[in-house]
A and B are shown apart, each in its own frame.
Chain A
Amino acid sequence: MPVLGSDMEAGTLVAWRKRPGDPVRRGDIIAEVETEKGLIEVEVFDNGVVEKLLVEPGTKVPVGTVLALIREEGAPARPAAARPRATPAARRLAAERGVDVATLVGTGPEGAITREDVERAGAARPPRAVEPAPDQAARMRQAIAAAMARSKREVPHFYLSTTIDLGPALAWLARTNESRPVTARLLPGALLLKATALALREHPELNAHWVEGRPVPRAAVHVGMAIALRDGGLVAPAIHDTERRTLDELMGALRDLVARARAGTLRSSELSDPTITVTSLGDQGVETVFGVIYPPQVAIVGFGRIVKRPWVVEGGVAVRPVVTAALSADHRVTDGHRAARFLAAIDRYLQEPEGL
């Protein structure tokens, strides 16, 4: 069961999309799981052959539980199931609590299952429900509450903002869209996203995860886009390799992601991979958005409404469209000086939109 959010503890296997013996390629959808974020499609991360499905549909299991065995390409078929490595204390506890050690991933020496692994699995099992399960919106709100409370408790946020002249970017956008059919037009959001991703290349410390007490910069830029859902709540799935995509590719990815987020067909890697989040509340009329960092990420960028303001241009005052870019960053990872330069880099990229 993949971890699809920092506070996700368990998920329910809804259906298998593959059967034992089926060949699978990296990126194939093997299963659907129900989580606080809705129905998620679980992807395969290696090429191979499905050897065994270990969890029955309808079963709720803790994160880290092995859902299926996949034999790597070219590897011989596995002999009859070997007894999983587990400490005696873990086996006793598993027997007491009705936990199948064969479904767990061990964290002990050489992958052995420990007593703590069993305790975690037992704690994540659903209680024998007396009250009806909360609906999806309520469960998502609980998950957001847990993640945001943890973030504010553990992450020392600091906040910076800057106002950016969007005159050149919007003029370029209008010229570009003028010659395009409506189906191929770009939104300003695509430019903001690309400028942010390019600025992250210059400031990789903000494109990182905080893992076990230290920042781990991520090689690829996978920007998570905050998307409001129709019935409340939000998700922030990743647009993979954001900085490498053209504006047209980003626009297509945005449209696809918004549609799938609202239809409940996101993929597991889209929820587990974001290296930073971008949120925009400009359509709702606010000018500045200071977001709460989503652990283990270390920064979130917020864009507000594009508004017309008096702006000094070459010694005179002109009316220009501007947007406020706000950064919430983790002070354990960076400081105000570097963070300010990151915002300045976003500004710089937006002044030369033809280069995006």
Chain B
Amino acid sequence: MTGTEIRATVLRLLGDVAPEADLAALRPDAPLREQLDLDSMDFLNLMIAIHEAFGVEIPEADYPRLATLDGCVEYLAGARRA
């Protein structure tokens, strides 16, 4: 899966978690929670959705690395190579 495909998948999952969000205006390098008004439950749901879509186990200690869209793409690309 390419970086572009990973990004598209994460965006789709974000759309499921926050259906009202304007994802076109999302800054990829800024925190998702602030931009999309995600609460703890939303963020956990996003982690679960990523886990299920990519088959990647995400330790809780790694959550900060998935705080932005760019961070998610980088983390998942690395996890899939590993």
Contacting residues of chain B (1-60) with chain A, CB-CB under 8 angstroms: 18-20, 33, 38-41, 44-45, 47-48, 51-52, 57-60
> Does A345 reach chain B (CB closer than 8 Å)?
no
* Residues of B close to A230: CB separation below 8 A: 18-20
Which of chain B's residues has its CB closest to A259's CB? B45
Q: Say yes or no: A185-B60 contact (C-beta < 8 A), given A230-B19, A230-B20.
A: yes
Which of chain B's residues has its CB closest to A188's CB? B40
A128 to B17, CA, bound (A): 40
Identify which of B38, B40, B57 contacts A181 (C-beta below 8 A). B57
Between-chain CB contacts (< 8 Å), 12 pairs = A174-B60, A178-B59, A178-B60, A181-B57, A182-B44, A183-B51, A188-B40, A230-B18, A230-B19, A254-B41, A255-B44, A258-B41
Contact between chains at B20 and A187 (CB < 8 Å): no
Which of chain A's residues has its CB closest to B50's CB? A182
A181 to B33, CA, bound (A): 22
* Residues of B close to A185: CB separation below 8 A: 44, 60
Contact between chains at A177 and B41 (CB < 8 Å): no
A183 to B46, CA, bound (A): 11
Which of chain B's residues has its CB closest to A186's CB? B44
Contact between chains at B44 and A177 (CB < 8 Å): no
Interface string of A219-240 (1 = CB under 8 A from B): 0000000001011000000000
> Does A189 reach chain B (CB closer than 8 Å)?
yes
Binding site for B on A (CB under 8 A): 174, 177-178, 181-183, 185, 187-189, 228, 230-231, 254-255, 258, 282-284
Contact between chains at B44 and A181 (CB < 8 Å): no
A183 to B57, CA, bound (A): 10
Q: Say yes or no: A255-B60 contact (C-beta < 8 A), given A182-B48, A182-B51, A231-B20.
A: no
Contact between chains at A283 and B40 (CB < 8 Å): yes
Which of chain B's residues has its CB closest to A262's CB? B19
* Residues of A close to B57: CB separation below 8 A: 181-182
* Residues of A close to B52: CB separation below 8 A: 183
A255 to B15, CA, bound (A): 18
* Residues of B close to A284: CB separation below 8 A: 39
A282 to B43, CA, bound (A): 14
* Residues of A close to B20: CB separation below 8 A: 230-231
Contact between chains at A189 and B40 (CB < 8 Å): yes
* Residues of B close to A228: CB separation below 8 A: 39
Chain A nearest CB, measured from B57 CB (Å)? 7
Identify which of B18, B33, B40, B47 contacts A182 (C-beta below 8 A). B47
Which of chain A's residues has its CB closest to B20's CB? A230
Which of chain A's residues has its CB closest to B56's CB? A182
A81 to B57, CA, bound (A): 63
Contact between chains at A187 and B40 (CB < 8 Å): yes
Identify which of A178, A187, A282 contacts B44 (C-beta below 8 A). A187
Which of chain A's residues has its CB closest to B39's CB? A283
Chain A nearest CB, measured from B58 CB (Å)? 6
Which of chain A's residues has its CB closest to B41's CB? A258
* Residues of A close to B60: CB separation below 8 A: 174, 177-178, 182, 185
Give the one of B20, B40, B57, B59 with max A CB within 10 A: B40
* Residues of A close to B58: CB separation below 8 A: 182
Contact between chains at A255 and B41 (CB < 8 Å): yes
A182 to B54, CA, bound (A): 13
* Residues of B close to A174: CB separation below 8 A: 60
Which of chain A's residues has its CB closest to B47's CB? A182
